[in-house]
Structure 1
Amino acid sequence: MYTYQAFGDRYVLSLENHVEITKAMTMFCEEKQIKAGVIHGIGAVGKATLRFFDPHTKQYIDKTFQEQMEIACLIGNISQKEGKPYLHLHIALGRSDYSALAGHLLEATLSGAGEFVIEAFEGSLERYYNTSIGLNLYQLRK
């Protein structure tokens, strides 16, 4: 599913073609017991489901795009929710007509290369569901 090389608390991760990005990165975080950190990367996908949060309904609106697209930028963070890795990822995707799509990444399947860097932090960041906002927020220590 992936190969990687460690550089201290940073990992350079190469995902295999046709792998679902969020699934592979979640598995990597479980394997390496990464409970807090950041992610960034580039690559190409053939299918992606993006989400847009509507604060009035407190619901995500999902839309799937199935075409060859370049990952112009993937950025996000790693935390924990209910003892499991929680990846919060945003992505900008370039289309063949040079227009771009962007949003919260639910899932995407590689179609070509996927090159990512994960920086692990010491300790753990926890999340909780905030009912008044409708989002999973950091539970930070005061």
Structure 2
Amino acid sequence: MRYERLEDGFYRVKLEYKDEIIESLKSFAREHNIKGAFIQGIGAGEDFELGWFSTEKREYKRTHLVGDFEIVSLSGNIGVAENGEPVVHAHICLAGEDYECLGGHLFRGVISVTAEILVVESQSKFLRKKEPESNLQLWHI
């Protein structure tokens, strides 16, 4: 992972071969003491775990995708759990060689070539707390 600070609160983050998206962004947030940020990105990857949340069952249905994929869109945010650890909440849209797109909640994604991610830091803390109704760690507002 490489990065460059642009103007106030803006970072250009470049992930490289075999970098894992979520863990890399968590590490970046720890290193820069980021408690709230928005993320947007594109790139290419080869190994993904995606989820779709069932509101009926209150849990994620997960799928594992292996192959060459374009990261058409990566978007989400970085917040902080009650224990102070960074939380990356990201959704992703992937396209395969058939040009069909698949998307969902990103649990894990391994880069095959690169990912170019813009991180826009907020001055606010995006605290996440587990909510019993959904069983999810959601923004505490």
Structure 2: where are the runs of 5+ without partners?
A: none
Q: Secondary structure at the match of 2:99?
A: coil
For the 8 Å contact 1:55–1:134, the answer to whether it is kept is: no
Partner of 1:68: 68
Partner of 1:139: 140
- With normalisation by structure 1, the TM-score equals 0.95
- With normalisation by structure 2, the TM-score equals 0.96
Please report how far the alpha carbon of residue 105 of structure 1 lies from its aligned counterpart in structure 2 after TM superposition: 0.2
Q: Secondary structure at the match of 1:22?
A: helix
Please give the alpha-carbon distance, in whole angstroms, between the structure 1 residues aligned to 2:22 and 2:138: 19
Please report how far the alpha carbon of residue 16 of structure 1 lies from its aligned counterpart in structure 2 after TM superposition: 1.7
For the 8 Å contact 2:16–2:112, the answer to whether it is kept is: no
Partner of 2:3: 4
Please give the alpha-carbon distance, in whole angstroms, between the structure 2 residues aligned to 1:132 and 1:94: 33
1:44 maps to amino acid: A
Please report how far the alpha carbon of residue 113 of structure 1 lies from its aligned counterpart in structure 2 after TM superposition: 1.2
Asked if 1:96 corresponds to 2:104, the answer is no
Please give the alpha-carbon distance, in whole angstroms, between the structure 1 residues aligned to 2:59 and 2:109: 20
* 1:19-98 superposed matches below 5 A: 19-82=19-82, 83-98=84-99
After TM superposition, which residue ranges in structure 1, 4 or more long, deviate above 4 angstroms?
Answer: none
Deviation digits for residues 77-107 of structure 1 (CA, Å, limit 9, x no counterpart): 1111121101110000001000010000000
Deviation digits for residues 1-31 of structure 1 (CA, Å, limit 9, x no counterpart): x111111210001112111111111100000
1:124 maps to amino acid: K
Deviation digits for residues 48-90 of structure 1 (CA, Å, limit 9, x no counterpart): 1001111111111110000100000000011111211011100
Q: Secondary structure at the match of 2:133?
A: coil
- What is the root-mean-square deviation in Å for CA atoms of aligned residues? 0.8
Partner of 2:112: 111
Q: Number of residues paired by the alignment?
A: 139
Identity score, percent: 30
Q: Secondary structure at the match of 1:102?
A: strand
Please give the alpha-carbon distance, in whole angstroms, between the structure 2 residues aligned to 1:78 and 1:24: 12
Structure 1: where are the runs of 5+ without partners?
A: none
